[in-house]
């Protein structure tokens, strides 16, 4: 019953056998287990009729089952003792089955370029870029899917010829354009597409006339390329290619129709006077009713005569009889050609050519001068004092005009207040005559507060003995100085051996002794001397009774002037004789000097300020 399928009723438990032949003619027998309703052991018989068993009933005969007693396992691919169902790395290559594209690949670790679990020797796409190794120009290039313009298996980042045109990127002007690789003129358009590969300004010639569109005024008209006058008409068809106002000359007379008064008459083109007769045939071209033969300006209807033959018609000529003049811009009656100031009606001549018209020039014949503000006859440019009519020159440059400068050639001097020939700045006596110096102290008498011929410190005007240095007072007027007079208050005697002639003289008076009375104190009060000053004076007076004081010329300076001023209202004698006894004693003289010196300083300062003001007035001509 070989090669024939036999079927038994499946209700015959444990008794009946089932048999089936497979495609290889192997017999398969089966029986039902009495003890359950499921298929029990099945015995397989080969052609040799050797029975096989499936101990764990997993459908895999024991001889093929690596785990015949374990229905959940049948194979152990890597032979590691762990069934493939439980083993998470069936080929033991270090990549778990879930991530292993070759779960049952070559057993154990090995080269796997893309780390996909398939060793390179068994991996059809080593770099996992989607291109099988047999067509991949970079079989072990960058892993994973990436940009690959030329689809050669080499991603663009690693591809030496990105566009796959056979030209390496470094030599390819268009490395991502497989249709271009060279740009000879560097205009950005490849030579394959560029109709003008060697012209950087052109790439396209739309009308095929050989002129690139960029320079072709008519890029879509093969008959035109230029429009020289920019009138929209190509030069080839433009009768006047350089005249934007003309394009056609219908009568061929050389005058464009737009400006030709007779566009269809080759003999006429203009009608100047608009009379409908062409100028060539018209005897009065400008229509001014003057025959062209008699008209000096046949083309100017406003002119016909030119009396002075200067080329300007009489109607427009401001000077029709003067061939040298035609215009008078400022209307001053002087033609512009000869008018130095053609636009100034007030000026026409500039005799000295200084740019200032003679009418306005204070010095019309002097090129260096034109103005005299102070009217002194000296031009401002050379006038050292242009605003002072009294001055124009400052020879010494001291700022004081020569007319008011007593010393016009000495920059250090300008005034001589006392007219003594010595400038005030160097004049030690600016208010007096410097030539008189009686006492020879180098101080002129007029300014010398102390004229002291004998040098005893007492001014000659009050010195009873101006030529005797040892004497200056003669209180009793007996001709003997007080210093040598044993009785200076007694005119009757001067020596101790002489008898007393003055019966009224106090017998107790000793030589040189003086009685101080209240008269001089009253005098000081009357002259405004305060108590403090008097207290200062009193001890001095007593001291002078015992000590002769040497007089300094500075200490009694100005005495002469004060005495002179005092003499106008009171005599010198009265001024010094404080007690009114008619005798000037040493005490009275010293008291007077103290009073006088208290005001000397203030008076000197006042005089100095007054002199300074006078000098300023002279300097500025006030």
Taking only the tens place, the pLDDT of each residue in 298-334 is 889 999 999 999 999 999 999 999 999 999 999 999 9
CA 65 to mean position of chain CA atoms = 100
At 590, which helix (H) or strand (E)? helix 586-619
* Separation in Å, CA 99 to CA 103, 141, 368, 385: 8, 21, 112, 114
- End-to-end distance of the chain based on CA atoms, in angstroms? 170
Highest mean pLDDT among 96-105, 393-402, 492-501: 393-402
pLDDT tens digit sequence for 164-175? 888 898 898 898
Total Cβ atoms within 10 A of residue 1: 8
In a domain, 276, yes or no: no
Q: Each residue of 498-520: pLDDT tens digit?
A: 444 444 444 444 433 333 344 44
Residue 405, pLDDT score: 94
Give the mean model confidence (pLDDT) for residues 122-132: 72
Least confident range of 6-20, 152-166, 487-501? 6-20
What value, to the nearest 5°, has the Cα angle with vertex 232 and ends 226 and 237?
Answer: 60
- Of 331-345, 393-407, 478-492, the least confident: 478-492
Instruction: Look at 538 and 138; give whichever has higher pLDDT.
Output: 138
Would the pLDDT of 447 be above 60? yes
Of 550, 531, 530, the closest CA to residue 590 belongs to: 550
Give residue 140's pLDDT.
66
Per-residue confidence (pLDDT) for residue 541, from 0 to 100: 54
Q: Is 185 a member of any domain?
A: no
In this structure, how many other beta carbons lie within 10 angstroms of the beta carbon of residue 506? 11
Range of the domain at 602: 436-472+514-622
Tell me the two tokens of residue 96.
């778990």
Classify 575 as helix, strand or coil. Answer: helix
d(CA 121, CA 105): 10
Look at residue 530 and tell me whether its pLDDT is greater than 60: no
How far apart CA 469 and CA 34 sit, in angstroms, is 189
425: in domain: no
The whole-number pLDDT of residue 35 equals: 43
360: left (phi over 0), alpha (psi -120 to 50) or beta: alpha
Residue in this structure with the two tokens 């764990």, named with its chain if needed: 56
Q: What is the pLDDT of residues 215-260, one digit of tens each?
A: 999 999 999 999 999 999 999 999 999 999 999 999 999 999 999 9
284 CB contacts (<8 Å, ≥6 apart)?
A: 273, 290, 291, 292, 295, 298
Q: Considering the domain boundaries, does residue 297 fall inside one?
A: no
The half-sphere exposure of 545 on its side-chain side, counting CA atoms within 13 A, is 12
Q: Is the pLDDT of residue 412 over 70?
A: yes
| Residue 6 maps to a domain | no
pLDDT > 70 in the chain, percent: 65
Q: Are strands 39-45 and 17-21 parallel, antiparallel or unpaired?
A: unpaired
Confidence of residue 59 (pLDDT cuts 50, 70, 90): confident
Question: Lowest-pLDDT range, 133-142, 208-217, 330-339, 415-424?
Answer: 133-142
Burial label for 486, CB within 10 Å (0-12, 13-18, 19+), is: middle
Residue 500 DSSP one-character state: -
Kindly report which listed range (68-72, 105-109, 124-128, 572-576) carries the lowest average pLDDT score. Answer: 572-576
- Residue 547 has a pLDDT of 45
Residue 567 pLDDT exceeds 70: no
* Residue 581 located in a structural domain: yes
Which strands sit side by side in the sheet containing 51-52, from one edge to the other? 17-21, 27-32, 39-45, 51-52
Q: Which residues pair with 28 in a beta bridge?
A: 20, 44
Residue 28 parent element (H or E): strand 27-32
Structural Rg of the chain based on CA atoms: 74
Main-chain phi, psi angles of 607, to 5 degrees: -65, -40
> Which three-class secondary structure state does DSSP give residue 236?
coil
Please give the residue that has the higher pLDDT: either 459 or 370: 370
pLDDT in tens, 38-54: 444 444 444 444 456 78
Q: What is the mean pLDDT of residues 562-583?
A: 54
**Cα 262 to the center of its chain, rounded Å:** 67
Sign for the CA dihedral angle at 579, 584, 590, 593 comes to positive
Q: How many CB atoms lie within 10 A of CB 405?
A: 25
Collapsing DSSP to helix, strand or coil, 404 comes out as helix
pLDDT value of residue 159: 78
* Per-residue three-class SS string for 118-149: CCCCCCCCCCCCCCCCCCCCCCCCCCCCCCCC
User: Is the model's pLDDT at 7 over the cut of 80?
Assistant: no
How far from 233 is each of 152, 223, 236, 359, CA to CA, in Å?
A: 55, 12, 8, 64
Which pLDDT does position 274 carry in this prediction? 85
Name the one residue in this structure whose structure tokens are 């007219």. 419
Distance of alpha carbon 51 from alpha carbon 467, whole angstroms: 189
Answer left, alpha or beta for residue 59, where phi above 0 means left and psi between -120 and 50 means alpha.
Answer: left
Total structural domains in the chain? 1
pTM: 0.32
In a domain, residue 396? The reply is no
Supply the pLDDT for residue 555. Answer: 36
Query: Do 350 and 357 meet the contact criterion of CB atoms below 8 Å apart?
Result: yes
Q: Does residue 404 belong to any structural domain of this protein?
A: no
Residue 609's pLDDT band (cuts 50, 70, 90): low
């Amino acid at each position: 019953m070989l090669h024939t399928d036999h079927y038994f009723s499946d209700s015959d438990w444990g008794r009946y056998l089932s048999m089936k032949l497979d495609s290889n003619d192997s017999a398969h027998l089966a029986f039902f287990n009495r003890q359950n309703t499921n298929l029990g052991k099945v015995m397989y018989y080969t052609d040799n009729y050797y029975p096989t068993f499936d101990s764990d009933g997993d459908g895999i005969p024991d001889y093929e089952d690596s785990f015949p007693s374990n229905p959940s396992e049948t194979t152990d691919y890597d032979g590691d003792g762990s069934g493939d169902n439980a083993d998470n790395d069936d080929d033991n290559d270090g990549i778990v089955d879930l991530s292993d594209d070759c779960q049952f690949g070559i057993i154990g670790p090995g080269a796997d370029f893309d780390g996909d679990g398939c060793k390179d020797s068994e991996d059809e796409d080593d770099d996992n870029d989607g291109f099988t190794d047999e067509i991949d120009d970079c079989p072990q290039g960058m892993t994973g899917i990436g940009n690959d313009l030329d689809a050669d298996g080499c991603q663009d980042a690693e591809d030496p010829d990105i566009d796959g045109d056979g030209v390496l990127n470094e030599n390819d002007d268009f490395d991502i354009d497989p249709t271009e690789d060279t740009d000879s003129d560097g205009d950005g358009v490849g030579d394959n597409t560029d109709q003008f590969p060697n012209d950087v300004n052109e790439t396209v010639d739309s009308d095929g006339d050989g002129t690139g569109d960029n320079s072709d005024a008519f890029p879509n008209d093969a008959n035109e390329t230029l429009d020289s006058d920019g009138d929209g008409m190509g030069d080839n068809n433009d009768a006047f290619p350089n005249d934007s106002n003309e394009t056609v000359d219908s009568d061929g007379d050389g005058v464009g129709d737009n400006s030709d008064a007779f566009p269809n008459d080759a003999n006429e083109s203009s009608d100047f006077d608009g009379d409908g007769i062409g100028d060539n045939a018209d005897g009065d071209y400008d229509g001014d009713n003057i025959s062209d033969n008699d008209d000096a300006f046949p083309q100017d209807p406003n002119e016909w005569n030119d009396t002075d033959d200067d080329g300007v018609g009489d109607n427009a000529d401001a000077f029709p009889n003067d061939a040298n003049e035609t215009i008078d811009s400022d209307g001053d009656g002087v033609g512009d050609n000869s008018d130095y100031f053609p636009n100034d009606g007030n000026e026409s001549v500039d005799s000295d050519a200084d740019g200032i018209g003679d009418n306005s020039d204070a010095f019309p014949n002097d090129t260096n001068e034109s103005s005299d503000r102070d009217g002194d006859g000296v031009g401002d440019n050379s006038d050292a004092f242009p605003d002072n009519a009294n001055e124009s020159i400052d020879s010494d440059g001291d700022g004081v005009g020569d007319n008011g400068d007593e010393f016009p050639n000495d920059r250090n001097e300008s005034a001589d207040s006392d007219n003594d020939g010595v400038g005030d700045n160097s004049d030690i006596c600016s208010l007096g005559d410097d030539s008189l110096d009686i006492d020879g102290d180098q101080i002129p008498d007029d300014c010398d507060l102390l004229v002291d011929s004998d040098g005893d410190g007492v001014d000659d005007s009050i010195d009873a003995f101006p030529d005797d240095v040892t004497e200056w007072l003669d209180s009793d007027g007996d001709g003997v100085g007080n210093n040598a007079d044993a009785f200076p208050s007694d005119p009757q005697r001067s020596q101790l051996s002489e008898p007393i002639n003055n019966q009224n003289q106090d017998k107790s008076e000793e030589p040189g002794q003086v009685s101080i009375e209240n008269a001089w104190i009253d005098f000081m009060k009357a002259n405004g001397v305060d108590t403090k000053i008097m207290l200062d004076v009193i001890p001095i007076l007593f001291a002078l009774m015992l000590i002769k004081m040497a007089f300094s010329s500075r200490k009694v300076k100005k005495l002469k002037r004060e005495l002179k001023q005092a003499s106008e209202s009171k005599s010198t004698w009265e001024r010094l004789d404080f007690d009114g006894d008619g005798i000037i004693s040493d005490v009275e003289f010293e008291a007077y000097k103290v009073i006088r010196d208290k005001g000397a300083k203030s008076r000197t300062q006042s005089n100095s300020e007054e002199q300074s003001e006078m000098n300023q007035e002279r300097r500025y001509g006030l």
